[in-house]
Amino acid sequence: MRRAVLWPLTGLAALFGLAVVLAIAGWLYVHGQFDTPGPLREAHTLVLPPGLGAFDIADRLVEEGVIDDPVLFVAGLWIEDEQHALKAGEYAFEALVTPRGVMEKLVTGDVVVHRLTVAEGMTSAEIVAALNATSRLEGEIAAVPPEGSLLPETYHYALSDSRAGLVERMQQAMAALVEELWQTRDPTLALDDARQAVVLASVVEKETGVADERPVIAAVFLNRLRDNMRLQSDPTVIYALTGGAGPLGRALTRSDLRVDSPYNTYRVRGLPPGPIANPGRAALAAVMQPAESTALYFVADGSGGHAFAETLDEHNRNVARWRAQRATDGQ
C-alpha cells in the first residue's frame, strides 16, 4: 500500500521538476536572445500609433525589420513585466538594436525630438506660417498671436504635438523673459512699462543684425524719444505697408515715407502703437540696458553696420559717404 502511494507522488514531483527545468531553460533562452543584436542593418525610424497592444507592436517591428521574432519579443516583455508599458510615438532605432534596446526605448517613450527654430525679428504671421508648414505638428492656430508675444528661439517638439501648444510655449517664454529683463532694467530708462520696451526692442531688432550695435541703436532711439524727435525708422514704415505679412520685396520710396499709418515713425512722434516683430533676447536686453551714447542718428556704413552721429551735420556727411559707396558699388 505504501509503495502504491509513493509512486504517484514521485511521478508528480518528477513532472514538476521537469516543468521547472523547462521554465528556467525557457527563461534563459529568452533572456539570452533578448540581448542579442537584432536584424536591423541600418538606422530606421517608424511611427507606432496609439491603441496598439504588445502583439500588434511586435508584428509591426517585425514588418519594419527591427526584430525578427515577435513571440520572443512579447515573451521578453512579460518576463520584464513591461507588456503594458509600451508607448506610442515616432521612434528612431539604431542598427543591430537588441530586443531589449527596443523595449527600453518604447517603455521610456524615447521618441524622436524635432526642432523648430524661430528667427529673431520674424513677425507673428510669419511664425504661424512656419508652424502651419511643419507637417509633424497637429491642429490649427485659431488666430495670429499678438505681435511681439512670441519668443524667437529653438523649440523642441515630438510627432503629433499641437501647433497651438507650441504657440503657448512661445508666449510663456516671451512673458517670462520680458518680466526677468524688466526687473533688471536701467533705472533711468525712459519707458513707461515693459510693453513699451518690447515695442522698441522690435524696432531695434529690425534695424540691425549686428549684435554689438543693438545697445547703441537702442540708445539712439531712447535719446530721440527723450528729445521728442521722431524715430524715423524704415522698418516701421515697412510694417505699415505690409502689416507684418512678409517682406516688402523692394526698397522704400519717398512716397512710402508719407504713408498715413500710426506705424509710420517718419510722421508720428513716439513709439509705434505696437511691436513690428518678435524681438529676441539680445534686442530686449539692449533696450533694457542701452549703451551710454549721446548719438541721435545712424545710417548704414556700407559694410553691414552703421555709422552713428550726434549732430545732423555729422549725420549728413555719413549719409553722403554711404551714397557714394553705393554709387561705387553700382547699387
- Return the higher-pLDDT residue of 133 and 9: 133
* Per-residue model confidence (pLDDT) at position 68: 94
Give the three-class secondary structure for 277. coil
Average pLDDT over residues 300-318: 88
Quick: pLDDT tens for 258-283.
999 999 999 999 999 999 999 999 99
Quick: pLDDT tens for 69-88.
999 999 999 999 999 999 99
Neighbours of 227 (CB within 10 A): 8
* Per-residue model confidence (pLDDT) at position 66: 97
Residues in CB range of 212: below 8 A, 6 or more apart: none
Percent of the chain's residues with pLDDT above 90? 79
* Per-residue model confidence (pLDDT) at position 190: 87
DSSP 133-192: T-TT-BS--SSPPPTT-S--SEEEE-TT-BHHHHHHHHHHHHHHHHHHHHHTS-TT---S
Q: What is the pTM of this model?
A: 0.84
Which pLDDT band, with edges at 50, 70 and 90, does 95 fall under?
A: very high
Which grid coordinates belong to 145? 498671436
* Per-residue model confidence (pLDDT) at position 330: 61
> Domain segments of the chain: what residues?
26-108, 114-172, 186-328
**Structural element, H or E, at residue 44:** strand 44-48
> Exposed, middle or buried: residue 11 (CB in 10 Å: 0-12, 13-18, 19+)?
exposed
CA 241 remoteness from chain centre: 28
* Per-residue model confidence (pLDDT) at position 151: 98
Neighbours of 319 (CB within 10 A): 15
Average pLDDT over residues 8-21: 50
Which pLDDT band, with edges at 50, 70 and 90, does 20 fall under?
A: very low
* Per-residue model confidence (pLDDT) at position 193: 96
* Per-residue model confidence (pLDDT) at position 198: 98
* Per-residue model confidence (pLDDT) at position 11: 57
Average pLDDT over residues 47-52: 94
The answer on pLDDT for 213 being more than 60 is yes
Per the listing, cell 524622436 goes with 112
- Return the higher-pLDDT residue of 303 and 281: 281
* Per-residue model confidence (pLDDT) at position 26: 45
Average pLDDT over residues 299-311: 87
Say if residues 267 and 256 touch (Cβ distance below 8 Å): no
The answer on pLDDT for 116 being more than 90 is yes
* Per-residue model confidence (pLDDT) at position 302: 77
* Per-residue model confidence (pLDDT) at position 320: 86
Which grid coordinates belong to 270? 513716439
Which pLDDT band, with edges at 50, 70 and 90, does 10 fall under?
A: low
DSSP 231-266: ---HHHHHHHHHTTSS---S---TTGGG---TT-TT
Q: Across all residues in the chain, what is the average pLDDT?
A: 90
89 - beta bridge partners?
A: 48
The answer on pLDDT for 25 being more than 60 is no
Quick: pLDDT tens for 154-189.
999 999 999 999 999 999 999 999 999 999 999 999
Quick: pLDDT tens for 187-203.
999 899 999 999 999 99
* Per-residue model confidence (pLDDT) at position 257: 95
Side-chain-side CA neighbours of 279 within 13 Å: the count stands at 31
For domain 26-108, the CATH superfamily is: Endolytic murein transglycosylase (3.30.1490.480)
Nearest-CA neighbor of 282 among 172, 204, 196, 182?
204
> What sign has the CA pseudo-torsion 319, 324, 326, 327?
positive
First to last CA, the chain: 117
State the Cα–Cα distance between residues 284 and 184, nearest whole angstrom. Answer: 12
DSSP 80-123: TT-TT----EEEEE-TT--HHHHHHHHHHT----EEEE--TT--
- Return the higher-pLDDT residue of 330 and 213: 213
Per the listing, cell 514704415 goes with 237
* Per-residue model confidence (pLDDT) at position 328: 72
